[in-house]
Amino acid sequence: MKKVVIALSFISFCSLAMADVEAYRIDNGHSFANWTIRHVASKTSGTFTDVTGKIMLDREHLEKSSVEAKINVLSINSSHTRRDEHIKKAEYLDAFKFGEMKFVSTKLSAKDNTEGVLTGNFTMHGVTKEITFPFKVLGFGMDPWGGQRTGLEAHTSIKASDYGYAWAAKVGAPVGDDIEVTLLIEGVKLAPELPIK
């Protein structure tokens, strides 16, 4: 009988621990990976509109949270169709060969319950590197359909050359090496029994 009580207590404890972590599916209709890069003497900006993945969020212990996200490279949008088609080619993003970027967090250092620094492995153009960047939890709210959502914002910068892109190395290159990135992520909370797709 004592063993049964201990087992039930352990299961109850695990259930309570798991209940603290909320699962969110990244809503690709309301999430964006915005970028800015030097072009000649100015800057050009745009976004990737197809961002998917999952967020495991512990509101009280933010350091226990994690993120996995994918970006469809073919979803690039710089508000200029001909430029977008050019960027997708092998000269720049080589998007038809490397059609996906991926980020998987490995560590989260929390400043408080709404801000922290995220570390993880970022893969682009077939190259994986560890990156670290600050982020904020913007809040929580109910959507018009009765669901619950959260919003996150993060900022970082990467060098294209670190991922095997050589366009900035050319003499007189019109496009720079440094890419400024702003992530605007909206997640839809899932019931515990539902899988994240």
- Does the pLDDT at position 14 exceed 70? no
CA atoms within 13 A on the CB side of 84: 14
| CATH no., domain 22-189 | 2.40.128.110
Band of pLDDT at residue 197, cut at 50, 70 and 90:
low
- Does the pLDDT at position 100 exceed 60? yes
- Does the pLDDT at position 124 exceed 60? yes
Residue 152's nearest CA partner among 110, 186, 180 is 186
Q: How many CB atoms lie within 10 A of CB 103?
A: 21
Judged by average pLDDT, the poorest of 22-26, 34-38, 119-123, 193-197 is 193-197
* Domain range summary for the chain, segments of one domain joined by +: 22-189
Q: What is the maximum span of the chain, computed from C-alpha positions, in angstroms? A: 79
Band of pLDDT at residue 55, cut at 50, 70 and 90:
very high
pLDDT of residue 172: 87
Band of pLDDT at residue 20, cut at 50, 70 and 90:
confident
Q: What is the pLDDT of residues 133-173, one digit of tens each?
A: 999 999 999 999 899 999 999 999 999 999 999 999 888 89
Segment 38-55 shows an average pLDDT of: 97
Q: List, in order, residues 6 or more apart from 7 with CB less than 8 Å away.
A: none
Band of pLDDT at residue 75, cut at 50, 70 and 90:
very high
